[in-house]
Amino acid sequence: MTSSATPGPGPGSGGGRRGGTSPPANGGARRVPWGGALLTALAAVGWAYLGMAAVAALALHLLGADTAGSLGPMTAALVTMAVGGKVSPSGDVSVFGISGAQATGTIDVLPLGVGLTGALLLAWVFLWSLRRAGAVVGVAELLVRALAVVVLFLAALAGLGWAGHDTVSLRGGGPGRGGSINGGFPGIGDLGDLGSFGSGLLKGLGTLARDHGTVGFRVDTAASMSGGVVWVVLVLAIALLSSRYGPLPRGWAALHRTVRPAASAVRSVLVMAVCAGLLVALYSAFTDDHPGRVVGGALAGAPNGVWLGTALGLFVPWHGAATGPLALLLPHPLDDVLRGADSGRAITMPELARYDGRVWLLTAAAAVMMLAAGVLTAARTPVGGTSGWGFAGRCAVRLAVASGVALSLLVWITGLSLDADLSVFGFDAVGASVTLHGNPAWALLLGAGWGAAAGAVGALLAHATGAAGTWAAPLTALGKDPERPVRPGGDAPARHTGRRDGV
């Protein structure tokens, strides 16, 4: 009687859990939940776009962009740029009553504050849906869920391309006053009042456009769709590789121990650095004459500045060029280094230190970040009975790979390119441009070097203090003890010991 009332875990029982919600304890595959995959993909994409739209709209409002044009189309354009899309400005300006003046330009910059918000929300909901599969997820289910997210994401992006076009006004002023566009290009500081470029581009343009003028912008749908594919695939890949509790397909269990501890440590440190940058911006807003602009610029572009400073602090070489008044948009001392460098100039830490010795604080901050990543890697990596030096070697290699890939990716996404021209019947009246790009190859090598050093030092410190492996996730035990079932989240003790004591 007792044996019939308490059956053992069978092929469809899921180890005592409700059948159909998780795989059996022996890792048997389950059917692909098509309906659930579609619903969770819809939730992931919806929350991601909702979060990005909220951050973008708030940032544009604080920058004052809604005083010159409709906030909705500008928000759609900014969100499109945040996920790798392309936006091109253009317009007609009447010069002293004579038509035929054409304003053109290109914008190639990612507002990473908006994009990071969407990436975190998309990854969180996507990984939450995977955890319902149990400790192991089937390859077919993983592909279906990821493909559903990609398709729905691109469909929403196409809608933004349709909505992301509008016209903003150039308001002519009286004598001595230039027109202004209250808008912003996040990531390179507050460009909110474009008429304040140090009596630059748009002040001169406003003088010409005393009567009236408009500058429009439109989303390049084809280029935005291709950029959106790259963005969403990268977000999903990074989420899978850096998640500590998300399940992986059978045969990928080694990634729980070799890749995920270091990748999650790098991810945590980079996000924490952005949070610190936001706190600094909020503090600065209290002492600034325009606190709204400071907060708005930080919401949209804090990761751009923080990660650019991190790359410079780790000695990644950059190359930049600046012509015209757009050079004033760069933060000090970059503006001094690039001012007048029409053909481009190398940017290194020693070169920046010639203009301001305080830039060496970037190196100190970046070194502390890397050491923190090394300690986190050691705390999240199972020791496995190896010696302290052997454990340090493993952590050094794994953090070297993660840091090299992460730093090269940061250098790629923080680059920027801005161009602006005012042409009258084909005659270039005003022109300005700013380009700033890092060297991904050097970033890969330097990131690997810093990661190896930080991983070794952090592992030795963690091993000496007894912190090594204390934060190892329960999934790191997969593949070592096949008879011991493990849940993705684990229980409270398992999150600290890396094992689950009793099922």
What are the C-alpha distances in Å from 461 to residues 130, 270, 315, 374? 34, 21, 25, 9
Lowest mean pLDDT among 17-26, 175-184, 220-229, 294-303: 175-184
What's the whole-number mean pLDDT along residues 217-240?
89
The DSSP element (H or E) to which 337 belongs, if any, is: helix 334-338
Q: What pLDDT shows up at residue 16?
A: 38
* Residue 307 confidence (pLDDT) above 90: yes
Q: What pLDDT shows up at residue 394?
A: 95
**In this predicted model, which residue has the larger pLDDT, 86 or 497?**
86
Burial status of residue 372 (CB atoms within 10 A of its CB: 0-12, 13-18, 19 or more): middle
Hey, which of 176-180, 460-464, 477-481, 483-487 has the most confident mean pLDDT? 460-464
Distance of alpha carbon 228 from alpha carbon 216, whole angstroms: 23
Displacement of CA 253 from its chain's centroid (Å): 27
Q: What pLDDT shows up at residue 374?
A: 97
For 9-67, write each residue's pLDDT tens digit. 444 444 434 334 444 444 445 677 888 889 999 999 999 999 999 999 999 999 888 77
Q: What pLDDT shows up at residue 215?
A: 55
Helices 112-131 and 291-313, packing angle to 10 deg? 70
If pLDDT is split at 50, 70 and 90, which confidence band does 163 have?
low
Q: What pLDDT shows up at residue 427?
A: 36
What's the whole-number mean pLDDT along residues 260-265?
96
If pLDDT is split at 50, 70 and 90, which confidence band does 205 have?
very low
Q: What pLDDT shows up at residue 343?
A: 62
Q: What pLDDT shows up at residue 39?
A: 94
**Structure tokens belonging to residue 428:** 């270039």
Q: What pLDDT shows up at residue 471?
A: 92
pTM: 0.78
CA 93-99-102 angle, 5° bins: 45
* Residue 454 confidence (pLDDT) above 70: yes
Mean pLDDT estimate for the chain: 76
Q: What pLDDT shows up at residue 309?
A: 92
What's the whole-number mean pLDDT along residues 193-206?
35
* Residue 404 confidence (pLDDT) above 50: yes
Lowest mean pLDDT among 191-195, 261-265, 338-342: 191-195
Q: What pLDDT shows up at residue 467?
A: 93
Q: What pLDDT shows up at residue 216?
A: 61
What's the whole-number mean pLDDT along residues 467-494?
62
Hey, which of 34-38, 82-86, 341-345, 373-377 has the most confident mean pLDDT? 373-377
**In this predicted model, which residue has the larger pLDDT, 144 or 432?**
144
Distance of alpha carbon 152 from alpha carbon 383, whole angstroms: 41
* Residue 143 confidence (pLDDT) above 50: yes
Side chain identity at 202, as an amino acid letter?
L
* Residue 503 confidence (pLDDT) above 60: no
1's CB contacts (< 8 A; 6+ apart) are: none
For 82-109, write each residue's pLDDT tens digit. 998 887 765 544 433 434 445 555 667 7
What's the whole-number mean pLDDT along residues 471-495?
56
* Residue 372 confidence (pLDDT) above 50: yes
Q: Is the dihedral of CA 235, 240, 245, 247 positive or negative?
A: positive
Q: What pLDDT shows up at residue 256?
A: 92
Lowest mean pLDDT among 42-51, 176-185, 249-258, 371-380: 176-185
Q: Would you list the DSSP string of 187-256? A: TSS---BGGGSSS-HHHHHHHHTSSEEEEEEEEEHHHHHHHHHHHHHHHHHHHHHH-SS--B-TT-THHH
Side chain identity at 481, as an amino acid letter?
D
If pLDDT is split at 50, 70 and 90, which confidence band does 202 have?
very low
**In this predicted model, which residue has the larger pLDDT, 18 or 474?**
474
Q: What pLDDT shows up at residue 328?
A: 63
Q: How large a percentage of the chain has pLDDT more than 70?
A: 69
If pLDDT is split at 50, 70 and 90, which confidence band does 197 have?
very low
What's the whole-number mean pLDDT along residues 114-139?
91
What's the whole-number mean pLDDT along residues 129-139?
86
Lowest mean pLDDT among 176-185, 229-238, 445-454: 176-185
Are residues 306 and 275 in contact, defined by beta-carbon separation less than 8 angstroms?
Answer: no
Q: How large a percentage of the chain has pLDDT more than 90?
A: 42
**In this predicted model, which residue has the larger pLDDT, 480 or 414?**
414
212-220: strand order across its sheet: 166-169, 212-220, 86-95, 98-108, 416-424, 427-438, 318-323, 345-347
